[in-house]
Every structure is written in C-alpha cells, then in structure tokens.
Amino acid sequence: MEKHITSAISQAFGKFANEEFATPIQNFINSSYVSLMGLDMSEFHAPQTYSSLNALFTRKLREDRVFSLDSDDFISPCDSLISECGVLESEYALQIKGMRYNSDELLGEHFSSEEKAIVHDGTFINFYLSPRDYHRYHMPTNLKVLRAVHIPGKFYPVNIPSLKKRVNLFVENERVVLLCETQNQKRFYIVLVSALNVGVMQVAFEPRIKTDADALQSSSYSYENLYCNKGDDFGCFEMGSTIVVLAQKDMLELDVKAGENVKYAQTIAKLVI
C-alpha cells in the first residue's frame, strides 16, 4: 500500500505542532489555538506552560476525574461526541445515520473470522473527539488486553460532514485495534481511528506501534498478562479523532444516545453479568 497524500499533510502538520518556538511566539500560538477552538482549560495548566502546540494537544488533567468504582459501570474512555451507537446488524454498524461500515473490515486481517464474529449483533459506540476536546484516552473498565494490531491507512477527516459523505471512512483510515477481555470473560474491541493532522496515536503499553510512520504493512502484538484498570491513561491522539468500541452481544447496556456529548469518567453503560 502506497502512502496517501493525507499522510504527507498529517506528517507536515505534526512537524509544526512539535516545534518548540521562542517563548513569545509559542505563547501566541497556544493562546490563539485556545481562543480559536474554544478550549476549556479549567482542568489543565495555563496555555503558556506548554512548550509546543502538540504538548497543548496532549495535555494531561491536573487532577484525575472521579469515576464509579462499581465493576459493572463502563465509563467513557474520552471526552467526545457520540456520533452513533446502538446494536450491530450482523457485522454492520453505523458510521453515522444512514451510512454503515463493516466491523469485519474495520478489525482487519490479523483477527480470525471467529474473533471478528464475537461482536456480530453486539453493541457499538463511536466517539468523535473534536480538536477542542481533551485528547487522552483511558480504559473504560478493568480489563485484559489480548492483542494490539496496527493497520496503516489514510488520514481523511473524521468530522461530522466527512462522516456523512465518505463511505467506509473508518475502514480506510489508519487505526490501532485492541482486543480486550473483561473480568467476566466478555470480549470487546477498542479501535483508535486516525484523522487528518492526527498522524500519531500513542499506545503507552506498546512502544513498537509507530503510527503516521513509514510502515506500509499491518503488525500484530499479542499479550498473556497485560492487565489494565478502569481509568488508566493508555495514550492520546495528537489532535482530535475517533474511538470505536465494538462489544460482544449481551455485554453492554447503553446509557447514552447518538448526538450526546460525554466526558471521560462518565458512566455510559452497564456490563451485563
């Protein structure tokens, strides 16, 4: 697979965002971005404390948010808009109302037909992170990571207008797929989807994954004892993008709907026992 023009654009923007300019210039860039995008910085350090635009993008909370410790409560992994959610029709989920994507194609070639079929007729949630959102992502429940797969691809925008006009947007873009297992042995996928200017998707526990790089082939990493706790910070997007959760049938009872804005740490579903 050849590199797409959207990759070159994202890489160029990444170089600018990572540049540490002289303090007065950097302060102007950061403050202008905060003002232009309408960022709420009340939970974060002041804009002038960040050494680059990327440091501002990937900012951490000053204090972690409080979330439910009930093991049955499934929390939002990020600050986002729920662009779509609901029940898959066999292997099909909604990209946005009226436009479907195939979950088997989204998950890619490194998962067997049986592994992909786990989520057929299951539950899906699409989380869209805008450029103004907090860009870090967290584990939605106590879980075990079984596999991580990096699938190189394109970097089309994933905002709402783009979702409405480009078929198979999630399937075409670069992504990282995590196969996870809950404490009661239910399985689900967390899919990190890239977007224009979001070449880098950090995965804290797997430094071998290099997104927006020169890799043209997908890669897979398996784990035996990789356990994570609810709320664990496991990486970030460098700008806004999308997270897709695909859950096994009868695993989740959703407490959110399409069009709703959610925050990391907010309970959005119940794990079915």
Q: Is 239 left (phi over 0), alpha (psi -120 to 50) or beta?
A: left
143-151: strand order across its sheet: 219-228, 143-151, 175-182, 187-193, 242-247, 123-128, 80-87, 261-262
3-state secondary structure of 124: strand
Burial of 181 (0-12, 13-18, 19+ CB in 10 A): middle
Q: What is the set of active-site residues? A: 79, 138, 241
Pull the structure tokens for residue 149: 């797969």
Cβ atoms of 178 and 145 closer than 8 Å = yes
Q: Which residues pair with 242 in a beta bridge?
A: 128, 193
Residue 136 CA, chain-centre distance (Å), reads 9
Q: Which residues pair with 128 in a beta bridge?
A: 81, 242
